[in-house]
Amino acid sequence: MESSQSILLIEDDVIDILAVKRALNAIQAPNPLFFVNNGEEALDFLRNENNSRPGLILLDLNMPRMNGLEFLEIVKHDRFLKIIPVVVLTTSQEQQDKMQSFSLNVAGYMIKPVNDQEFMQTLEIIHDYWSMSEVPTGLQYYQ
Amino acid sequence: MDTRFVKVLLVDDDEDDYIVTRDLLEDAQISDFELDWVSNYDLGVETIAKKEHQVYLLDYRLGQYTGLDILEKAVKMGCKEPFILLTGLGDHDIDQTAMKMGAADYLVKGQIDTPLLERSILHAIERKQAEAKQALLMEELKSANQELQDFAYIVSHDLKAPLRGISSLADWLNMDYIDQIDAQGQEMLQLIKQRSQRMNSLIDGILQYSRIGRLKEQQTEVDLNQIVAEVIDVLAIADNMKITIVNPLPTIQCQKTRIYQLFQNLLSNAVKYIDKPQGEINISCEKLVNCWRFEIADNGSGIEEKHFDKIFQLFQTLTPTDNAESTGVGLSLVKKIVEMHGGKIWLTSQLGLGTNFYFEIPQQSHNNPIIIENYRKKMI
């Protein structure tokens, strides 16, 4: 992921949004951060041609209207959108949620730490990894 | 169901047998029987599917088929009515197979009289009804239990989100506005932080407790010496504590991670409440008639007898504390695990001298239910 590519945070909890913002600020991540409050809004964002495709999606599972798993179900069957790496960021430690997420090809599954310091470290690790990893750019899709 | 009037279906390829059976049932004293007769497998299955009868009498020999074939087919079709197999003298293996497949009874042809046949039929019907009633009760109980466990799980899960928020906000206030908050304010923020950590531990406790009921683990052969050694290793006990395994522990049938949790909680508790310069914890076991009894004895602070019940209740601790580690979940977890294995737990204690915890785990606590069921049926 290049530093100009954005990160899309899909999260309904105001405080968790704040936590991610603070963490990315603290580690001085250069990527612009966008956030939406549920899966529906995320799809609107991703399908809006005015928005460039994010380099990384951070996804909460438990959200109103369209939850994280429902969102994954659609995105991972969309030939344009499925190449975007999605890292789940949730409080759910349920085996079932992990199973479903990974069978929908998520790139990672992180439990939101309670502790602020650990939250920052988690975000740092995610960001470092995806800054290191190459991701496809441009508008081509894989069939 | 009314058993004064009973519709019976006989599946038998021999008309003479039908006539004999009909005559026997006509003489019945308690109930009025109406006997229908079909003579082969196909007609038998077809008629059973109509569910017009309360009991089925199956001849074992039915041309190329047997009565057991019908029984098997009927069970697959979801037939809930009882079957009685009519066999020849000395067909012991067939009798056994029939019972295993769910037949209510078997009667030896030529040795049947009216009272025997009537009693067999009525018993079979009554037993089926009792079984159905019990199954329904079990189902209700199971679903109520499931609901309760799910409730505990969902509630505690949902409680965590706002809690995390509170904790984060306290952190951020402390970080961003530290120079604008005086010492007293900072102390309050610290208290918010502590309380939310404690609440988080309590919620984790509920989750852990409810998970025990939600997820059943396969029973395996577990060497307790190994388990206890692992627990001691993980507990990283201080040099002034000595844990001794007095006599070799057995290998028992149990749920491994649960038994691990059991020893972990009992031993960490014992360690936690030792107030002497030299701590001593002794683990021993004794083989009783049909169970193993274990004892974990410590020389800690001891527990007053009036608190013996209380310590096993969820969230009950005897020390008022903001300590996140002492949530009062441990011993209730232990009790639940012991009871899940069909055992019991109790203690003796002397204040200032120490506490002895005892628990018993039955051996082969869960006999193969099929064997018991067959045995019971055979006795009737």
Paired residues of B358 in beta bridges: B295, B346
C-beta neighbour count of B130 within 10 angstroms: 10
Are A88 and A61 spatial neighbours (Cβ–Cβ below 8 Å)?
yes
What is the domain class of B217-380 according to CATH?
A: alpha beta
What is the model's pLDDT at position B208?
78
Q: A58 lies in a domain? A: yes
What is the model's pLDDT at position B376?
42
Residues in chain A: 143
What is the model's pLDDT at position B365?
43
* Mean pLDDT score across all residues of chain B: 85
- Helix and strand tally (H, E) in chain A? 5, 5
Are A7 and A56 spatial neighbours (Cβ–Cβ below 8 Å)?
yes
Q: A12 lies in a domain? A: yes
* pLDDT-wise least confident of B210-219, B303-312, B314-323, B355-364: B314-323
CA-based nearest distance B187→chain A, Å: 18
pLDDT, tens digit (0-9, with 9 covering 90-100), for A6-21? 999 999 989 899 999 9
Assess if CATH 1.10.287 describes domain B134-215.
Answer: yes
pLDDT exceeds 90 at position B228: yes
Q: What is the CATH number of the domain that holds A101?
A: 3.40.50.2300
Cβ-Cβ contacts under 8 Å for A100 (sequence gap 6 or more): A69, A72
Domain ranges, residue A104:
7-131
Looking at chain B, the whole-number percentage of residues with pLDDT higher than 90 is: 33
Q: A136 lies in a domain? A: no
Residues of B in contact with A114 (CB under 8 A): 163-164, 167, 197, 200
As for how many domains chain A has, the answer is 1
What is the model's pLDDT at position A87?
96
End-to-end Cα, chain A, rounded Å: 22
CA pair distance B248, B283, nearest whole angstrom: 9
Q: Which residues of B76-112 are buried (b: 16+ CB within 10 A; e: fewer)?
A: eeebebbbbbbbeeebeebbebbbeeebbbbbebeeb
Locate the chain A residue with the closest alpha carbon to B165. A15
Across residues B375-380, what is the average pLDDT?
A: 41
Q: A142 lies in a domain? A: no
pLDDT, tens digit (0-9, with 9 covering 90-100), for B232-245? 988 888 888 899 99
CA-based nearest distance A116→chain B, Å: 6
Question: Contact B157/A119, CB-based, under 8 Å?
Answer: no
Residues of B in contact with A13 (CB under 8 A): 161, 165
Q: A114 lies in a domain? A: yes
- Count of alpha carbons within 13 angstroms of residue B262, beta-carbon side: 28
What is the model's pLDDT at position B175?
87
Sheet holding B291-298: strands in order across? B241-245, B279-287, B291-298, B354-362, B344-350
Question: Contact A114/B172, CB-based, under 8 Å?
Answer: no
Residues in chain B: 380
Rg (CA), chain B: 32
Superfamily for domain range B5-112: Response regulator (3.40.50.2300)
pLDDT exceeds 50 at position B332: yes
Handedness of CA B37, B43, B47, B49 (dihedral sign): positive
CA pair distance A88, A91, nearest whole angstrom: 10
Q: Is A98 on the interface with B (CB under 8 A)?
A: no
Q: How many CB pairs under 8 A join A and B?
A: 31
What is the model's pLDDT at position B322?
55
What is the model's pLDDT at position B237?
82
Cβ-Cβ contacts under 8 Å for B42 (sequence gap 6 or more): none
Q: Is B208 on the interface with A (CB under 8 A)?
A: no
Residues of chain B with CATH 3.40.50.2300: 5-112
Enumerate residues 142 to 171 of chain B having a beta carbon within 8 A of any beta carbon in chain A.
Answer: 157, 160-161, 163-165, 167-169, 171
Q: Is B264 on the interface with A (CB under 8 A)?
A: no
Residues of chain B with CATH 1.10.287: 134-215
What is the model's pLDDT at position B146?
79
What is the model's pLDDT at position B1?
53
Q: A143 lies in a domain? A: no
pLDDT exceeds 60 at position A71: yes
- Out of A15, A22, A92, the one facing B165 most closely (by C-beta) is A15
pLDDT exceeds 60 at position B379: no
Q: Which long-range contacts (CB under 8 A, 24 or more apart) does B230-235 make?
A: B230/B260, B231/B260, B231/B263, B231/B264, B231/B267, B232/B267, B234/B264, B235/B264, B235/B267, B235/B268, B235/B271
Across residues B284-301, what is the average pLDDT?
A: 92
pLDDT exceeds 70 at position B380: no
pLDDT exceeds 50 at position B26: yes
Mutation target to probe the B interface, by most B beta carbons within 10 A, among A67, A97, A112, A114 is A114
* ∠ Cα A71 A72 A78 (to 5°): 95
Q: Which residues of B256-288 are buried (b: 16+ CB within 10 A; e: fewer)?
A: bebbbbbbbbbbbbbbebbeeeebbbbbbbeee
Q: A139 lies in a domain? A: no
Instruction: Name which residue leads in pLDDT, B71 or B371.
Output: B71
pLDDT, tens digit (0-9, with 9 covering 90-100), for A31-64? 999 999 999 999 999 999 888 889 999 999 988 8
Instruction: Name which residue leads in pLDDT, B379 or A54.
Output: A54
Q: A137 lies in a domain? A: no
Question: Contact B168/A13, CB-based, under 8 Å?
Answer: no
Question: Rounded to the nearest 5°, which phi and psi values hold at B172?
Answer: -70, -40
What is the model's pLDDT at position A100?
94
Decide: helix, strand or coil at residue A63: coil
